[in-house]
Amino acid sequence: MTHFKGKDGFKNKVALITGAGSGIGQATALELARRGAQLWLTDINATGLEQTAEQVKALGAQCQTFVGNVSSSTDMKKLAKAVHEQHPALDILINNAGIGVAGRFVDTTLKTWNKVLDVNVKGVMLGCHVFAPNMISQGGGHIVNVASAAAFIAAKDMPVYAMSKYAVLGFSEALRADLYDHGIGVSAVCPGVINTAIVANTLFEGSVGNNDTVKNKVVEFYKKRNYTADKVALGIIDAIEHNLAVRPISPEAWAMYLAKRWLPGVVDWVGRRDLPFMAAD
């Protein structure tokens, strides 16, 4: 099992982060840069990706970028080829890219279902598919899959998003067991109420989507809560250092995580409420 603890635990480790152009991905890239890691960053947003890369390089870290779609097997294979031409294997893989969506089941289009599941589930799977074999050959490393507090408690307005994040959590737990004998740790990180661009960019459909007041209310709630992506980055570091299976981040995520196990009746009740913080993450 690869060890990442200590002052120099991440120094010269090769780490790849998807969705690195903003939010949690960007904050995690900067945190790893401060700790001396060599970074590969990918995002579908070329402008945001370049902005992250500039900040990483300003910290003195090595950084390479790749503009691509995590849901595309072609793009991910090209990314893996580029990485493996320079490094035998990654030490750290962080599957962070994701999109948010809110809307009742009968109001949500199949197009949206396909889009969200392609990015949030297939994207995570593809990241593991193209990089895990070399990590196995290397004999160690760590994979972080960014799930959500929605994997603990699913709100009635989030069937698509909840399904995708429950899938990420279940996949991560199975993969953790599968890769244990190869010295590879796997962590599912569940942020919670985090003030990032995913909230403003969340797809709102049906009666929810037709009401700008609802979306604005959600965005404003996240802004006022102001739990930053920097704190999630530190949680991801903690999950890697201590090889944690599941790592809730915000106080709300911890409460939902514990309630899921000890207060299932409360979980059922909360899922039926109209709560603004259940929109994403």
* Domain annotation covers residue 90: yes
How many domains are contained in the chain?
Answer: 1
Tell me whether residue 166 is one of the annotated catalytic residues: no
| Segment 5-33, tens digit of pLDDT | 877 899 999 999 999 999 999 999 999 99
Tokens (6 digits) for 15: 């780490």
| Segment 205-253, tens digit of pLDDT | 776 655 555 555 555 545 555 678 999 999 999 999 999 999 999 888 8
* Domain annotation covers residue 39: yes
Q: Among the options 161, 222, 227, 257, which is catalytic? A: 161
* Domain annotation covers residue 202: no
Cα gap 273→270, rounded to integer Å: 5
Residue 168's contacts (CB-CB under 8 Å, 6 or more residues apart) are 120, 121, 124, 145, 146, 147, 148, 151, 188
* Domain annotation covers residue 111: yes
* Domain annotation covers residue 103: yes
* Domain annotation covers residue 225: no
* Domain annotation covers residue 210: no
Provide Rg for the chain, Cα atoms: 18
Q: How many residues does the chain have?
A: 281
Task: Name the pLDDT band for 177 (thresholds 50, 70, 90).
Answer: very high
* Domain annotation covers residue 65: yes
Q: Which domain range does residue 131 map to?
A: 14-193+230-264
**Average pLDDT over the chain, rounded to an integer:** 88
CATH for 58: 3.40.50.720
pLDDT at 227: 73
